[in-house]
Structure 1
Amino acid sequence: MPTMLILVGIILSIGLQLPGAQSIGACYGVNGDNLPSKQEVVDLYKSNGISGMRIYGPDGDTLEALKGSNIELIIDVPRETLQVLTDVSAANDWVNEFITPYSQDVNFKYIAVGNEIRPGENEAQYVLPAMTNIQSAISSANLQGQIKVSTAIDATLTTNTYPPSNGVFTDAAGPYIKPIINFLVENGSPLLVNVYPYFAYINDQKDITLEYAIFLQQGTNEAGYQNLFDAMLDSFYAALESVGASNLNIVVSESGWPSEGGDGATGESAATYYGNLITHAKGGTPKRPNGPIETYLFAMFDENKKPGAETEQHFGLFRPDKLPKYQISFNS
């Protein structure tokens, strides 16, 4: 009996390190004025217990600030760099410049080769060759066990997403995404997916309620879902199953809710969404119940210089002065 009590004590003492209790990541966008220094940003991650970061391109100052922090990092290959990296030597140079010198002190986890590149776009032809070359360069540096190479996609590549079990890749996306999925399976890498219930909600307010979109719905719908995030994520899993990749894992590489600038974009809704998502990500979805769901919130700061709809400028978790916009805990 004393032995059992000791074991229970040990389990409780390491509870914060158990997979279900892991903290959540946040994307670090820089399209804003008066943002803190890179070191201040890393310190802000650490002081709030945010254990993962995504950056949208290599940046020496950020990588220097991350040294010794143990923050897990997604580093993107920007859209404009994809064509260059279809050259093997250029891919080796990229890894030797931005990855290898920092690999002992920075906790690289994923390289996202392109973000939301869609079939039909000129850059689509470069994604898989660039992924292949980056993978080879990572292996040459003996870092393949530490860093996984992937790409980030969005919901425009899927269709028939309700009920979620009917989700498939679009006819246009199939020839583009299937070879990428084969690459991910072969290399043991996850698929990165940007999941935005907000955009699904504003595009279909007739059928989607705000409560369903921000985790406030009571009870499940006829498809067995209580929230839109799970429904969207499971539609991606169904699409993967439809192409024979049922064992491929998904990392939610972006998810957020704007605080102003459009329908449903209020501070109250954003705070509710982020807070509930942080809690919810500790578990799983109906199709993949054994969580946690590795999730990166978008984004660390409001980005007043970001183009597009006004909402795009108001996804921040913090203000430029580092004060939190919402009273949420990243370790809930």
Structure 2
Amino acid sequence: MASFSSRSRTSSLTAAMLLLLGVIFMANLDMTGAQVGICYGMMGNNLPPATEVIALYKQHNIKRMRLYDPNQAALNALRGSGIEVMLGVPNSDLQRLSNPSNANSWVKNNVLNFWPSVKFRYIAVGNEISPVNGGTSWMAPFVLPALVNVFNAVRAAGLQDQIKVSIAVDMTLIGTSYPPSAGAFRGDVISYLAPIVGHLSYAKTPLFANIYTYFSYSGNPRDISLPYALFTSPSVLVWDSGRGYQNLFDAMLDSLYSALERLGGGNTLDVVVSESGWPSAGGFGTTSDNAGTYLSNLIRHVKGGTPKRPGKAIETYIFAMFDENQKQPELEKHFGAFSPNKQPKYNLNFGGHRNWDISTEQNATVSRKSDM
């Protein structure tokens, strides 16, 4: 009897340990799955209403959203959803928010009036502003004051640890990207970026960066292979200072890290990938197979970090939730992970119990009342 009792206790203890390990494993799955969100763009005249969009995020276990402006219908639909939000300050508001009073009002109306029922994670002050881009250069002088003013408004509300305030840049600001260890910003944007990087370091806030391997590949297919851009290369293609690069995404992100280090960001300034995606039509190399391959590999890959910062999950936002038929040029209409009728275009997994089953989803009965 004694030996049976001992075996029973051992078996019970083993079962308990296995259960605990299972819980930890599932928690880690949820944590890594939550690293990836989707950008909710609204430039389409056939998109579902915001309440249905939020339900779609929840249905597919998409736990983070980038929202490009404080759309009131979307913010109200987000109440109580548990979805973490990166809220955008539109470029058109930057000049106005360079006035502290206006920034305080903006934060009150669009953040504090919804907090905490809406889980704001970040505020992105402007998107892809560049002092050397003719279309946005006039806005560049307003970015830093708007950034600081919005940060101060958030801090005055005591929320600076919960809601981080930053800006979103694109990779055109990089002057040297190869090899990644030599990454450096263009000389003519340093005076614009240096004080911004200094503020972000002070505020312990990541920089947001829109990183598209598609545009690098389509602009230079002679030197950049499709497998390297799609995460499907079977071996390392680039060696740099003892680091091996098997995909272009890591090389681009590490070149940005190197550029930030050269600008005084040190090894402490993180990068959140605020956009990344691949179009399914409209241009060179745009197929559904390529887009689905890129997105599914991106979701898996960002759990593990880059050669320069290994083992550190990369918070990433896929662009975009839907195909948006009012965007230009044609290529820009085909970045959606979903069609406007809410059907998934690809088999993707956001940390739930199964991949999206496209065949099952398309055979399901869905509401089409919002379609046009």
Q: Which TM bucket (shorter chain)?
A: over 0.9
Q: How many residues align?
A: 331
- Give the one of 339, 344, 348 matched to 1:319: 339
- Give the one of 213, 231, 243 matched to 1:197: 213
Alignment-derived partner of residue 32 in structure 1 = 44
Alignment-derived partner of residue 327 in structure 2 = 306
Alignment-derived partner of residue 247 in structure 1 = 268
Alignment-derived partner of residue 274 in structure 1 = 295
- Give the one of 56, 63, 81 matched to 2:93: 81
The Cα shift of 1:323 comes to 0.4
The Cα shift of 1:243 comes to 1.8
The Cα shift of 1:23 comes to 4.8
Answer yes or no: is 1:221 the counterpart of 2:240.
Answer: no
With over 3 angstroms needed to count, the CA separation of the structure-2 counterparts of 1:187 and 1:301, relative to structure 1, is same
1:49-85 CA-partner distances (Å, limit 9, x unpaired): 1111001110111111111111110001000000000
Q: Which stretches of structure 1, 4 residues or longer, exceed 6 Å deviation after superposition?
A: none
Distance in 1 separating the partners of 2:33 and 2:13: 25
With over 3 angstroms needed to count, the CA separation of the structure-2 counterparts of 1:186 and 1:8, relative to structure 1, is farther
- Give the one of 6, 16, 28 matched to 1:6: 16
Root-mean-square deviation (CA, aligned residues, Å) is 1.4
Could you say what secondary structure the match of 1:172 adopts?
helix
Distance in 2 separating the partners of 1:155 and 1:94: 28
Instruction: Answer whether contact 2:35 2:313 (CA < 8 A) is retained.
Output: no
TM-score, reference length from structure 1: 0.96
TM-score, reference length from structure 2: 0.86
Percent identity between matched residues is 48
Could you say what secondary structure the match of 2:208 adopts?
strand
Instruction: Answer whether contact 1:255 1:296 (CA < 8 A) is retained.
Output: yes
Distance in 2 separating the partners of 1:77 and 1:63: 14
- Give the one of 211, 217, 220 matched to 2:227: 211
Could you say what secondary structure the match of 1:150 adopts?
strand
1:225-265 CA-partner distances (Å, limit 9, x unpaired): 10011111110011111122121000000000000001000
The Cα shift of 1:8 comes to 4.6
The Cα shift of 1:16 comes to 3.5
Structure 2: segments with no counterpart, 5+ residues: 1-9, 356-372
The Cα shift of 1:159 comes to 1.9
Distance in 1 separating the partners of 2:79 and 2:276: 26
Instruction: Answer whether contact 1:15 1:21 (CA < 8 A) is retained.
Output: no
Alignment-derived partner of residue 58 in structure 1 = 70
1:8-65 CA-partner distances (Å, limit 9, x unpaired): 5223214343243435200000001210110100010011111110011101111111
- The higher radius of gyration belongs to 2
1:278-320 CA-partner distances (Å, limit 9, x unpaired): 111111110011221100000000011012x311110001011
Distance in 2 separating the partners of 1:250 and 1:294: 8
- The letter for the 2-side match of 1:178 is A
Distance in 2 separating the partners of 1:3 and 1:119: 63
Alignment-derived partner of residue 109 in structure 1 = 121
Distance in 2 separating the partners of 1:103 and 1:79: 23
Answer yes or no: is 1:47 the counterpart of 2:77.
Answer: no
- The letter for the 1-side match of 2:50 is K
Could you say what secondary structure the match of 1:11 adopts?
helix
- The letter for the 2-side match of 1:318 is F
- The letter for the 2-side match of 1:227 is N
Answer yes or no: is 1:15 the counterpart of 2:29.
Answer: no
Could you say what secondary structure the match of 1:122 adopts?
helix
With over 3 angstroms needed to count, the CA separation of the structure-2 counterparts of 1:133 and 1:283, relative to structure 1, is same
The Cα shift of 1:328 comes to 1.8
With over 3 angstroms needed to count, the CA separation of the structure-2 counterparts of 1:8 and 1:174, relative to structure 1, is farther
Alignment-derived partner of residue 367 in structure 2 = none
- Give the one of 299, 315, 318 matched to 1:294: 315
- The letter for the 2-side match of 1:82 is L
Alignment-derived partner of residue 256 in structure 1 = 277
Q: How does 1:84-163 map to 2 (within 5 A)?
A: 84-120=96-132, 121-163=137-179
Could you say what secondary structure the match of 2:192 adopts?
helix
Distance in 2 separating the partners of 1:293 and 1:7: 30
Instruction: Answer whether contact 2:280 2:334 (CA < 8 A) is retained.
Output: yes
